[in-house]
Amino acid sequence: MDNKAGIKFPRLRQARLQKRLNRFLAKVELDGEIETAFIPNPGRLTELLYPGAGVYLRAVSPKNKRNTTYDLSLASCGNVLVSIDSRVPNLLVAEALVANCLPWFKDYKIVRSEPRLGRSRLDFHLTAAGLAECFVEVKSCTLVREGMASFPDAPTLRGSRHVEELLHLVSAGYRAAILFVVQREDAVSFTPNDSLDPLFGKSLRKAADGGVEVYAVKCRVNLEGINLSDWVPVIL
């Protein structure tokens, strides 16, 4: 895969996680001081965010008028850096679509971001001359065990609803796809996390049988930035 799509990080500061306070806040030790950092990801992330875990912080501009000075951007998992920011995959996919470097959506252009359909908002509405309109939902994945990437890492009724909306679109004559962006580079394949959320796995398989396209791509992550790297096979 052409990895033109990427995001450069500002200077990141290394810290140590002390405690996760709730879904979106953590206490971290930075240069001997205790700070509160924002976690831009509502997932459980238990394999990444535990007391003593190595993390990297991004300073937030004072113009944002936030109570927290830092975003928790990366976590260390052994020798692997993992981007935990669930906002990043959409930005990467948007760049890739504009650069026309996603093989599954060659020549498609973004018509709308976050189009509303039924009870849900999906991520992208695409068009291409002479081809069916396409709707794409992007999911952030950070969980990898022995090379197998899995989604979700917490039960998600919203995720199942998105998959059902995609299936409905295919039934109506549109093209629809779900793209899992694995925000680390040690994945060799992808599968739904049936042990944690069997409903999502069931919904995803039903959608795939009904014509919804399912893709997964991993990322190259370092302290300078993150890039889409290579596609990984999806095992359903």
Q: Say if CB 46 and CB 34 are below 8 A apart.
A: no
Q: Which token pair is 8?
A: 């450069």
Start and end residues for every CATH 2.40.50.580 domain found in the chain: 6-82
Residues contacting residue 138 through CB under 8 Å, at least 6 positions apart: 89, 90, 93, 123, 124, 178, 179, 181
Average pLDDT over residues 80-97: 96
Percent above pLDDT 90 for the chain? 87
- Taking only the tens place, the pLDDT of each residue in 169-188 is 999 999 999 999 999 999 99
- Choice between 60 and 222, residue whose per-residue pLDDT is larger: 222
| pLDDT, tens digit (0-9, with 9 covering 90-100), for 19-29 | 999 999 999 99
List the beta bridge partners of residue 116. 121
pLDDT of residue 4: 61
Residue 116 has pLDDT above 80, yes or no: no
Q: What local confidence, expressed as pLDDT, does residue 113 receive?
A: 87
pLDDT, one tens digit per residue, over 133-172 is: 999 999 999 999 999 999 999 999 999 999 999 999 999 9
**How much of the chain exceeds pLDDT 70, in percent?**
96
192: pLDDT strictly greater than 80? yes
The second-level CATH assignment, the architecture, of 6-82 is Beta Barrel (2.40)
pLDDT for 120: 73
pLDDT on residue 79: 94
d(CA 147, CA 142): 12
Given a contact cutoff of 8 angstroms between Cβ atoms, the answer to whether 162 and 123 are in contact is: no
Q: CATH 3.40.1350.60 region(s) of the chain?
A: 88-231
| pLDDT of amino acid 61 | 73
- Residue 33 pLDDT class (50, 70, 90 cuts): very high
As a CATH number, domain 88-231 is: 3.40.1350.60
**pLDDT over 70 (residue 205):** yes
What is the pLDDT averaged over residues 57-65? Answer: 78
The predicted pLDDT at position 60 comes to 87
Mean pLDDT of 109-130: 87
2 pLDDT exceeds 60?
no
Where on the phi/psi map is residue 44: left (φ > 0), alpha (ψ -120 to 50), or beta? alpha
